Amino acid sequence: MQNLFDGAMARVHKQQGELVGGVDSSSILTLVQLDPLIAEFHLSPFHAERLDQNVRINLHQADKTISGTVTFISSVIEAQSGTILVKVELTNPDGVLVSGSRVSFDPAPM
Note the pLDDT tens digit of each residue in 37-61: 999 999 999 999 999 999 999 999 8
The pLDDT score that the predictor gives to residue 2 is 65
Q: With respect to residue 42, please indicate whether it lies within any of the assigned structural domains.
A: yes
Q: With respect to residue 23, please indicate whether it lies within any of the assigned structural domains.
A: yes
Task: Write out the residue range of the structural domain in which residue 44 sits.
Answer: 8-106
The pLDDT score that the predictor gives to residue 89 is 95
What whole-number percentage of the chain has pLDDT above 70? 91
Is the pLDDT at 78 greater than 80? The verdict is yes
The candidate with the shortest Cα–Cα distance to 40, out of 70, 80, 78, 5, is 70
Q: With respect to residue 14, please indicate whether it lies within any of the assigned structural domains.
A: yes
Q: With respect to residue 33, please indicate whether it lies within any of the assigned structural domains.
A: yes
pTM, two decimals, is 0.75
Say how many domains are in the chain.
Answer: 1
99 confidence band (pLDDT: 50, 70, 90):
confident
Q: What is the CATH number of the domain that holds 100?
A: 2.40.30
Q: With respect to residue 2, please indicate whether it lies within any of the assigned structural domains.
A: no
Q: Are 37 and 97 in contact (CB under 8 A)?
A: yes
